[in-house]
Every structure is written in structure tokens, then in C-alpha cells.
Chains A and B, each alone.
Chain A
Amino acid sequence: MKTLRSPLGRVLGYGAAKEGTVSHWWLQRLTSAALVPLTVWFVYCLLTLPALDYATVVAWLSSTWSALLLILLVLTATRHSQLGVQVVIEDYITSHGLKTITLVLITFAHVVVAAAATFAILKVAFGGVR
């Protein structure tokens, strides 16, 4: 016997992500399950709004349910997207430095999109555009 370390102990942490994946895996599933009804609702809204002129869209976003569901959609979708793009980067970018920089930038971009979209929804919902 050459080593006392178990086969599992020798490979742990040597995957592309350098760490465990259980919470990442679980959160990806959790967000995807939530996105099924949320995205279907959003597509339904786009199709059933009487028009897409400014007054109609503002009135739609001013309703509590629409604003709330849209915020949930934006936050869930950005988290789901960040988790997904992260894996793509981990899989395809082999240079450690470039991979780290790209992951940082992608994470920042997703947080900015989530914050900006949420702010926009709240501003309209609270009557900030009239």
C-alpha cells in the first residue's frame, strides 16, 4: 500500500470548481423549480396585456402582485443564471487567473442586473414615474 489516504480524500477539491458542489447543485435545482411557474406567468402577462404602451406597462407594474412576482422572477433568474454561467466558465476556461477574473466579473454583473431591475420595478410600483 503506497498511501493511507482514501481514494475519495485524494480527489476531493480537485474538480474544476476546487470545492464541494452540493449547495451549488441544490440551489440550481431550487431556482429552476421556482422559475417554471414564474417564467410561465411572465410570458402569459406579455401575451395578455392589452397593449405595450407606457401607460399600460406602468399600470401593470403598479399592481402589487405583478411587481412582487416580477421581483421574484428577476432575483431567481439572475441567481440561476449566475450559477449556470459560473459552471460554463469553470468548465471551459482552463487558465486559473483568467477563470478567477471572469468569475468575479460575471458575479458582479449578475448582482448589478438584479439590483438595477429590482430598483426599476420598485420605482414604478411605488409611483415614482408619474
Chain B
Amino acid sequence: MRERPLSPHLSIYRMHRYTLLTSILNRFTGVILSVGLLMLAYWLLSIAGGPESYARASAILGLGISKLVFAGLLIAFVYHLVAGIRHLVWDTGRGLERAVAKRSAFIVAAVTVVLVLILGYLFIAAFVVGVHA
């Protein structure tokens, strides 16, 4: 194969910069959500398998470690959703100026934190404290 030009290596960039961090977080949370999709399919199949298989799946999904996974999935989902909307706005050609992109990065972070807190509270109220238990 013909030699291809190499772009500057990752290590020369400053990773804490809002550009790189928001980008790699979007990719990272996307991969996590792909695993979450597996869990959704497992849950749906357990329902289709009948009451016994649903009871088995509920026992596994109710474990402490599963709750940690759900918390991670919730954070990943909220970030990926908010950052994804930022990407869709960029795709219209808007918001690409450096100052605007920097501001929208902080807006994404702030909205993510607020939504995670609200949804986390609602899920804990529903599933842990016991409306759903």
C-alpha cells in the first residue's frame, strides 16, 4: 500500500481543551450506550421468555452492580443526547466559530449535569425508594 501521510500524534494536543474533551466524551459515551443496547435487548427477550425468565432477569438487573451500570448508562445517555444535539446544530453550519463553540461546550456540560441530577433523582425516587419496588 502506498505510504499515507500521518496527522500529528495525539500527545501533542492538550487533552483538557474543551474541543478534544467534548469530542472524545461523545465517542466514549456512544460506545457505552452500544453496550446498553445489549442490556435493553436482554430485558426485552426476558419479557418474551415468560414470567420465570423475567423474574431471573429482574434479579440480575436488580443487583447493586447493575444499579451502578444503570447510573453510568444514564450519565452516558444524557451527555450523548445533549452533545449530539450540539453536533446537529453544527451540521446546519451554525455555532462553529471558536467563541461560540467554546460557550456551547460549557452549556453542554451544564445541561448534562442538571439533567443527570433531575433524572437521577426521579429514577432513585421511582426505583430505589420504592414507587416501582
Contacts and interface: CB of A to CB of B under 8 A. Distances in A.
B47 A61 contact: yes
A113 B45 CA distance: 10
Interface residues of A, number: 37
Nearest to B87: A32
Given A81-B34, A84-B30, A123-B48, A74 B91 contact: no
Question: At the interface, is chain B mostly helix, strand, loop or mixed?
Answer: helix
Contacts of A123: 48
Contacts, number: 85
B110 interface: no
A33 B88 contact: yes
Nearest to B74: A43
B33 interface: yes
B126 A32 contact: no
Interface of B: 2, 4, 27, 30-31, 33-34, 37-38, 40-41, 44-45, 47-51, 54-55, 58, 77, 81, 84-85, 87-88, 91, 119, 122-123, 126-127, 131-132
